[in-house]
């Protein structure tokens, strides 16, 4: 909210706490170090007063807090860190502002804040009216200015935070339950703010206030009120927006629950097969012509003859023709039944000699290869020719492991070389 930043806050504080002559003399620190040291030394008091900044602290109470070390308070008053109004004592507004801004401590606006503010204002106005001494009167006036001056700032800060929180929850909170409860909480805060603005309005309408304003005739007070009015307008505009957002959400929930109930009823009737009879279902369906209720639309358009004859189309045509060829199916006639006579019904076993095994056994036994094969006990009867073939096969397959001699032997009418295992 830029308006909040641009408002001339600084002059207000200076004006509000225009130091009296004595204060000017007493406001004396040698250096920043000195100031900070003093603040640090008296941090307990400052913390106490900061925590109670919204209620008036009586001088006597503070005296009790510091165990009646009165000189402590006197020094702080002299150094203008504490300010005394009649019987009450406060932190210097500048220090208060500094602490508030720096710690970002926002005065939470709730029922207590509102009722407290109005009560204090009324009290001070009453005191101002009763009091006759000008000095004292001025103190009460200052208090009133201060109370009202703070309200605008507090309200705007609260509105800004609230707005941020609401927007944040809308954008980021996924869990519905948390979102709902958070928004309800924010809605409560919004109500408190609304309530405060209402009460301030009402208070300003009261005759006591009108009378007081007329009697005081104070320019500074008028300025403060003007600024508050402006702050309230800004706050109101923002609050309307925030309310709208929260209401939207709540309405949506209500609407959803209505939809929910209706769907349940429709489903029930549908299951009871009463839907068409007890509702305008058929009418609704008849009138509903969205494409969800229609068959898919398919378009088949003939090719443009002009396009086919163009250069662009040539490549496409080539591709299509290639595809067509690829997927070409030959129309094959099925062949007839295979006649029985073509099927040899006998079992066909093909006996194969394991040459490797044969070689191993020859190598271990030794002797003459042909003789070995000739006398070997095969699982299957082998003819002489088969044995000759096997002999040749082994001789050529494992010639590295055999030694071939120059001697020949003869069996039947075949002359063969004597082959023995290599030594």
Partner 1 sequence: MIGTPPIQTSEIFDRLSKGQFISEDSGSDEVKDLFNIIELENNYEVLRDYFQRIGFIFEKGTGYYYFSRKETNQIIEDKVKRAYKWIDILDFFNTYAKAIDEPFTQGTIFSPSRIFEKSKVNSALQEKLEALKNYQEFATEKPLERIQKLSRYMVKETFFDLTNEYSDEFKVLASYRYLQKLVVSIVIEEDDDETFE
Is residue 403 a contact residue for partner 1 (CB under 8 A)?
no
User: Which residues in the 138-177 window bind partner 1 by CB under 8 A?
Assistant: 174, 176-177
Which DSSP string corresponds to 401-412? TEEEEEEEEEET
User: Least distance (Å) from partner 1 to the CB of residue 319?
Assistant: 23
Residues 6+ apart with CB under 8 A from 402: 369, 395, 419, 420, 421, 422
Q: Pick between residue 40 and residue 293 the one whose CB is nearest to partner 1.
A: 293
Helix (H, G, I), strand (E, B) or coil at 413: coil
Residues 6+ apart with CB under 8 A from 223: 12
Is residue 360 a contact residue for partner 1 (CB under 8 A)?
no
Selected from 39, 77, 118, 275, the binder of partner 1 by CB under 8 A is: 275
Query: What's the CA gap between 18 and 278, in Å, rounded?
Result: 81
Is residue 337 a contact residue for partner 1 (CB under 8 A)?
no
Is residue 301 a contact residue for partner 1 (CB under 8 A)?
no
Query: What's the CA gap between 117 and 199, in Å, rounded?
Result: 10
Query: Binding-site residue total for partner 1 (CB under 8 A)?
Result: 39
Helix (H, G, I), strand (E, B) or coil at 353: coil
User: Least distance (Å) from partner 1 to the CB of residue 126?
Assistant: 52
Nearest by Cα to 317 from 303, 328, 331, 300: 303
Selected from 30, 133, 214, 297, the binder of partner 1 by CB under 8 A is: 297
Residues 6+ apart with CB under 8 A from 78: 26
Contact criterion met (CB below 8 Å) for 46 and 95:
yes
User: Interacting stretch for partner 1, rule CB under 8 A, among 10-18, 86-94, 268-276, 384-392?
Assistant: 268-276
Query: What's the CA gap between 357 and 370, in Å, rounded?
Result: 16
Helix (H, G, I), strand (E, B) or coil at 97: helix
Q: Pick between residue 58 and residue 264 the one whose CB is nearest to partner 1.
A: 264
Q: Pick between residue 271 and residue 341 the one whose CB is nearest to partner 1.
A: 271
Q: Pick between residue 299 and residue 380 the one whose CB is nearest to partner 1.
A: 299
Residues 6+ apart with CB under 8 A from 118: 199, 200, 203
Is residue 288 a contact residue for partner 1 (CB under 8 A)?
yes
Query: What's the CA gap between 137 and 304, in Å, rounded?
Result: 100
Is residue 256 a contact residue for partner 1 (CB under 8 A)?
yes
User: Which residues in the 171-210 window bind partner 1 by CB under 8 A?
Assistant: 174, 176-177
Mask 234-253, x = binds partner 1 (CB under 8 A)? ------------------xx
Give the residues across from 411 on adjacent strands.
414
User: Interacting stretch for partner 1, rule CB under 8 A, among 97-105, 132-140, 261-269, 381-389?
Assistant: 261-269
Is residue 119 a contact residue for partner 1 (CB under 8 A)?
no
Is residue 270 a contact residue for partner 1 (CB under 8 A)?
yes
Is residue 343 a contact residue for partner 1 (CB under 8 A)?
no
Residue matched to tokens 């923002």? 238
Q: Pick between residue 266 and residue 395 the one whose CB is nearest to partner 1.
A: 266
List of residues contacting partner 1 (CB under 8 A): 174, 176-177, 252-253, 256-267, 269-270, 275-276, 278-282, 284-286, 288-297
């Amino acid at each position: 909210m830029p308006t909040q930043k641009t408002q001339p806050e600084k002059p207000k504080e200076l004006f509000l706490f225009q130091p009296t002559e004595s204060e000017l003399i007493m406001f004396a620190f040698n250096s920043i170090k000195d100031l900070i040291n003093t603040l640090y030394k008296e941090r307990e008091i400052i913390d106490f007063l900061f925590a109670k900044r919204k209620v008036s602290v009586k001088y006597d109470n503070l005296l009790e807090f510091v165990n009646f070390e009165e000189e402590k308070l006197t020094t702080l008053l002299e150094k203008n860190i504490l300010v005394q109004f009649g019987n009450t004592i406060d932190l210097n507004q500048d220090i208060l502002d500094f602490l508030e801004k720096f710690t970002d401590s926002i005065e939470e606006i709730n029922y207590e804040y509102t009722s407290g503010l109005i009560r204090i204002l009324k009290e001070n106005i009453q005191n101002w009216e009763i009091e006759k001494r000008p000095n004292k009167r001025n103190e009460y006036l200052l208090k009133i200015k201060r109370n009202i001056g703070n309200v605008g700032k507090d309200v705007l800060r609260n509105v800004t935070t609230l707005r941020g929180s609401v927007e944040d929850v809308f954008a980021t909170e996924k869990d519905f339950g948390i979102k709902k409860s958070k928004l309800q909480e924010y809605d409560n805060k919004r109500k408190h703010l609304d309530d405060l603005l209402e009460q301030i309005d009402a208070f300003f309408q009261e005759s006591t206030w009108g009378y007081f304003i007329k009697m005081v005739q104070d320019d500074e007070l008028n300025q403060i009120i003007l600024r508050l009015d402006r702050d309230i307008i800004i706050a109101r505009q923002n609050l309307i927006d925030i309310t709208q957002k929260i209401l939207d959400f709540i309405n949506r929930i209500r609407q959803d629950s209505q939809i929910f109930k209706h769907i349940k009823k429709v489903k029930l009737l549908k299951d009871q097969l009463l839907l068409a009879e007890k509702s305008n279902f058929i009418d609704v369906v008849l009138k509903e012509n969205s494409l969800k209720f229609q068959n898919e639309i398919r378009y088949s358009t003939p090719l443009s003859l002009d396009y086919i004859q163009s250069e662009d189309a040539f490549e496409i045509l080539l591709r299509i023709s290639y595809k067509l060829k690829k997927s070409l199916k030959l129309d094959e006639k099925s062949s007839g039944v295979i006649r029985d006579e073509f099927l040899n019904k006998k079992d066909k076993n093909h006996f194969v000699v394991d040459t490797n095994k044969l070689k191993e056994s020859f190598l271990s036994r030794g002797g003459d290869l042909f003789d070995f094969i000739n006398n070997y006990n095969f699982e299957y009867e082998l003819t002489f020719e088969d044995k000759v073939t096997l002999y040749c096969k082994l001789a050529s397959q494992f010639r590295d492991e055999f030694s071939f001699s120059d001697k020949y032997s003869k069996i039947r009418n075949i002359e063969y070389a004597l082959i023995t295992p290599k030594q």
